[in-house]
Amino acid sequence: MLSTVFNQNRRLREFPALKKHLVGGAFFLAVVISIGSLISSTVSWMWDDQRLPLSKLVLQGELEYVSALDVQRAFATLDHVGTFMSQDVDVLQQAIEQIPWVSHVSIRKQWPDTIKVFLTEHHAQAIWNGDALLDEAGQIFNGDISKLHGDRVKLYGPEGSSNEVLQTWQRISKQFEPLGLTITSLVLNERRAWQIILDNGIRLELGKESLDERINRFISLYHSLGSDAQRVSYIDLRYDTGAAVGWFPEQESQQESTDDEDR
């Protein structure tokens, strides 16, 4: 009997504490549910395509050939430009990399609606095979040649030879500077033979071997030609020693002389 009464009294004493814990747990659960609901609502709001659309573009970099309009047109090729939260920066980057003059692009989003784009352009060193361009690393890109500011040397070569031809031009072009001559075209043909066209119209046939020695031979010959150099059509240096000189037809040379006198 005493044991039953004791147990009843104990349960009566523990009930308020249990009730307090239940109330506290219910309150905590309500807070967690409220916070979760708030976070869920916020995330849903932020990911809603009608919220925080990326609508502003900031273009940065030392740019000569790429404009903000080019970037906007690149973005227009995408099915959809999303929101600050939903848009994948890599997708935007891939779209801009399709612009021919773009060498490197870095993109970041700025809260709440801005895309910041930093661009580096290719620097065209030469025209490659008539319809493409080469940058300083020998990389081929398809920039609009008609937009080039200033003249560029024309380089030609088989597939995979762009870097070799560019480096050869960069090296040998300096050898013609003391003569006041400039290389306008450098050709490496399928047989791996070299040909140079100079700005005074002379064509040099240099063959496959001893490129520097043959250029030095031309330089010596050019000094000895004097004023007759203007009558030279081509010089074939594909010999162990010496060279074969091709002349413009005499009639053509005489006509040129008459024209000069008329002036």
Spell out the domains of the chain, with CATH numbers in brackets.
Answer: 56-121 (3.10.20.310), 126-262 (3.40.50.11690)
State the average pLDDT for the chain. Answer: 83
Q: What is the pLDDT of residues 222-247, one digit of tens each?
A: 999 999 999 999 999 999 999 999 99
Note the pTM of the prediction, 2 decimals: 0.72
Q: What is the pLDDT of residues 181-220, one digit of tens each?
A: 999 999 999 999 999 999 999 999 999 999 999 999 999 9
Tell me what pLDDT residue 31 has: 58
Tell me what pLDDT residue 85 has: 74
Q: What is the pLDDT of residues 145-182, one digit of tens each?
A: 998 989 999 999 999 999 999 999 999 999 999 999 99
Produce one character per residue of 156-182: b if its CB has 16 or more CB atoms within 10 Å, e if not.
bbeeebbeebbebbeebeeebeeeebe
